[in-house]
Each structure stands twice: as structure tokens, then as C-alpha cells.
């Protein structure tokens, strides 16, 4: 199952790349873990993915140049349109993978989908996604270039949202992934970039992260983040 999911993910990315979409999207969520292998080269970094969801962040305002019918593009792979909840959110469902689009939620927010007319899809607005879009890196993968959040931003974001999760299993997964990435950053002594990204965060966000780390008895990470000497 893991191999099938991985191969399908690669094919989705390949088709998006052929349409020129990848440069204007950011791959977020647990699938990012695969794309950090080069970043953590030389370490015992062996990510595993147990989720079907592959999430693509569309930074605002969208910079999608041409129209691409995403449902039609992936139809022959077995993806079908699925409606989530009662608000009209669209996602593409496959037995091995679910493709969804996200946009940053701003201001007072909205419970309505954000229409992506050029993609024949819509996106779910979520908080804190601007933070990921503003702290992304470009990685080379299978002759493609994929935008993903910097590993430090990925981990800090996971710590920030963990208590907002309705399901405990997802909250626990966020925690595990965040601490795994932070431990690898610690092993690399990559503290400068971690602190730089952390220091761009809103004060309330930083406080929430420190509180969460304290509850997990991770004073080692707290000390790294709190050290203002970069």
C-alpha cells in the first residue's frame, strides 16, 4: 500500500509539473516528510507516510497562469470528485490517495470554499498557512522542482495546530512528526534557521508552541528557540 500511494503521488506531481502548476503550489502536510530526505542527507532519516491526504497550498493571491481542469487531468488515474461536509468543499478521491487544495485563511475567516476557477476546483481556507508559504524551500525530485515548507516551519506549524485538531490521533501524529523533524534539526545543529523562522511568528503563536513543548518535557527545544543569539 505504501508503495502504491508513493507511486500515485509521484504521478500526480508529474502531471501537475507538465501543466506548469508546481511552481505556484506548495506541497504541505505529512507528504512533505518524503521531500526532506536530501535536507537530512547523512542522517538516519527514513520517513513513512500513513495518510492518504496530499494537500496543495495555493498562496494568495493565486498566480496560476493557465486553466487546468484538475478533475479531468487525474480522471484516468481513478480519481473522482468528492464533496466534503455541507459547505461544498471539493476533493479528488482515490482508494490510495486524496488530493485537496488549501488557501490561507485571513481576517475574520470564512466557512465557505475559495473558488479556484482556473483549476475547476475549490480550496479550504485554513489558519496559519501563510506562515508555511512564507517559509518554503524548493527541492529537486524526479526531475521536478517541488515547493515544500522548510522543515523548521513544518515542525513549528505542527506544534501550533496540534491542539486545534478535533481528533486525538491526528493531534498525536502532528506531535510525533514535529518532534521527529526538530530532533533531526537538532542533530544537524541547524539552530540558526530554526530560530530565525520561529522569531517571525506572532507572539501568541510562540507562546502556544513553548507551552506545548513544556507539556511534552522538551526543555531542550525550548532552550534552542529561546536563545536569541543567532
Instruction: Work out the mean pLDDT of the chain and round it to a whole number.
Output: 92
pLDDT at 229: 46
| Domain-ending residue, one of 97, 125, 149 | 149
Tell me: do 91 and 187 sit in the same domain.
no
**Whole-angstrom Cα distance, residue 156 to residue 145?**
23
Looking at per-residue pLDDT, the higher value among 187 and 171 belongs to 187
Q: Is residue 50 over pLDDT 80?
A: no
What is the pTM assigned to this prediction? 0.93
Tell me: do 19 and 130 sit in the same domain.
yes
Tell me: do 78 and 128 sit in the same domain.
yes
Tell me: do 117 and 164 sit in the same domain.
no
Tell me: do 22 and 104 sit in the same domain.
yes
**Residue 121 half-sphere exposure toward CB, CA atoms < 13 A:** 29
Per-residue pLDDT tens digits for 2-28? 788 989 999 999 999 999 999 999 999
pLDDT at 49: 72
> Which residue range is the domain that position 10 belongs to?
1-149
- Indicate the number of domains in the chain: 2
Per-residue pLDDT tens digits for 77-117? 999 999 887 788 999 999 999 999 999 998 776 778 999 99
- pLDDT (mean) for 190-200: 94
Name every residue whose Cβ is closer than 8 Å to that of residue 26 and which is 6 or more positions away in sequence: 56, 57, 59, 132, 133, 136, 147, 148, 149
Residue 1 pLDDT class (50, 70, 90 cuts): low
Amino acid at each position: 500500500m505504501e508503495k502504491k500511494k508513493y507511486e500515485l503521488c509521484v504521478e500526480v506531481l508529474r502531471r501537475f509539473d507538465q501543466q506548469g502548476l508546481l511552481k505556484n503550489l506548495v506541497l504541505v502536510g505529512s507528504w512533505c516528510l518524503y521531500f526532506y530526505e536530501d535536507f537530512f542527507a547523512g542522517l538516519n532519516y527514513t520517513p513513512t507516510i500513513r495518510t492518504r491526504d496530499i494537500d496543495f497550498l495555493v498562496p494568495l493571491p493565486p498566480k496560476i497562469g493557465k486553466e487546468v481542469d484538475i478533475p479531468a487531468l487525474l480522471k484516468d488515474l481513478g480519481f473522482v470528485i468528492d464533496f466534503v461536509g455541507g459547505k461544498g468543499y471539493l476533493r479528488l478521491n482515490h482508494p490510495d490517495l486524496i488530493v485537496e487544495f488549501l488557501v490561507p485563511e485571513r481576517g475574520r475567516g470564512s466557512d465557505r470554499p475559495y473558488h479556484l476557477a482556473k483549476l475547476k476546483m475549490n480550496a479550504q481556507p485554513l489558519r496559519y498557512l501563510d506562515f508555511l508559504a512564507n517559509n518554503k524551500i524548493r527541492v529537486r525530485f524526479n526531475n521536478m522542482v517541488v515547493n515544500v515548507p522548510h522543515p523548521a516551519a513544518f515542525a513549528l506549524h505542527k506544534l501550533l495546530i496540534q491542539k486545534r485538531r478535533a481528533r486525538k490521533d491526528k493531534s498525536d501524529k502532528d506531535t510525533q512528526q514535529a518532534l521527529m523533524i526538530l530532533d533531526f534539526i537538532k542533530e544537524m545543529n541547524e539552530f540558526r534557521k530554526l530560530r530565525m523562522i520561529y522569531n517571525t511568528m506572532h507572539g501568541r503563536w510562540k507562546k502556544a508552541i513553548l507551552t506545548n513543548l513544556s507539556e511534552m518535557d522538551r526543555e531542550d527545544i525550548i532552550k534552542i528557540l529561546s536563545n536569541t543569539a543567532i
